[in-house]
Amino acid sequence: MNLKVTLIQPDLKIGKQKYNYKLIKRYLLEAVESQTDLIVLPETWYTGFGEIIFKEIEKYAKLENSELIDFLKDFAFKNDVYLVGGTVIEKERDGKYYNSLYFIDKNGKIKTKYKKIHLYSPGGENKVITPGHKISIVKTEFRKFGFMVCYDLRFPELSRLYGLKGVDVLFVVANFNDPKKEQWLNQLRARALENQYYVVACNRTGHNYFGNSVIINPEGEIILNAGREKGIYSGYLDLNFIEDIKKRLPLFNDRREDVYQIKLKKR
């Protein structure tokens, strides 16, 4: 079984919501023309990511289930496409702010909302955003999907949890900036290789950003790299390849749980 994935790699403007919204809408319309199965947006595609956003969080945050989410839901339904909706900074009913990723199915239904767990303290995100505490896994006709956001990538425990749960494709949405391109690529390849799943990672590009949105197979090989150029990029995931790899190298059967364990704590 093959899954066609389209990555949207935009040059966002921080704090310019109207500009970013029009840009993403145009890219989405271009993406569906390629008859893709699934589209991925980057982290904070509506506002951009930076200290200016966190210092004026009340100005830039959307209320939970805002018109932005309605837009994504309507788009997915009308175009019969799955949508990894990047993230939106939201103010929820509890009065707290979250950096939330939405995964929406072809019927326009929200299948999961993942709240970013690891907050980027060097950029001030941890001062105003509340961290999430749960992983998100969704079973689809194209196997089992998991989700992470940007800084989460640096914590391999989270990626391993997804591997232990049998995830087939891990989606990472990000605002990874210069000069960290090699760190980005090395970590993504390692996560795919050590967990034997596909990694689909969508980053922004532009000033101080390097793009390099990628699709990486379970052997850690990059099968699509968008480079630095803005635009939309598509690739295919051979989902049967996952079983082939696990048969040849049964990593998870050879783990030593009598020596070490990793599990998600209940809250």
In a domain, 35, yes or no: yes
Residues 127-157: tens digit of each pLDDT: 999 999 999 999 999 999 999 999 999 999 9
In a domain, 166, yes or no: yes
Q: How many domains is the chain partitioned into structurally?
A: 1
3-class secondary structure per residue, the chain: CEEEEEEEECECCCCCHHHHHHHHHHHHHHHHCCCCCEEEECCCCCCCCCHHHHHCHHHHCEECCCHHHHHHHHHHHHHCCEEEEEEEEEECCCCCEEEEEEEECCCCCEEEEEECCCCCHHHCHHHHECCCCCCCEEEECCEEEEEEEHHHHHCHHHHHHHHHCCCCEEEEECCCECCCHHHHHHHHHHHHHHHCCEEEEECCEECCEECCCEEECCCCCEEEECCCCCEEEEEEEECHHHHHHHHHCCHHHHCCCCCCCCCCCCC
Residue 12 has pLDDT above 80, yes or no: yes
Residue 267 has pLDDT above 80, yes or no: no
Residues 179-201: tens digit of each pLDDT: 999 999 999 999 999 999 999 99
When pLDDT is averaged across residues 210-231 and rounded to a whole number, the result is 98
In a domain, 52, yes or no: yes
The model's confidence at residue 265, banded by pLDDT at 50, 70 and 90, is confident
In a domain, 265, yes or no: no
| CB 105 within 8 Å of CB 76 | yes
Q: What's the CATH code of the domain at 238?
A: 3.60.110.10
In a domain, 263, yes or no: no
For residue 30, give Cα distances in angstroms to 2, 116, 125, 228, 263. Answer: 21, 28, 32, 19, 41
pLDDT, position 266: 79
Strand partners, 215: 200, 224
pLDDT, position 263: 86
In a domain, 136, yes or no: yes
φ/ψ of residue 116, rounded to 5: -50, 125
In a domain, 205, yes or no: yes
> Domain range spanning residue 95?
2-251
Q: Indicate the pairing of strand 97-104 with strand 110-115.
A: antiparallel
pLDDT, position 127: 95
In a domain, 266, yes or no: no
Residue 21 has pLDDT above 80, yes or no: yes
Beta carbons within 8 Å of 258's beta carbon, 6+ residues apart: none
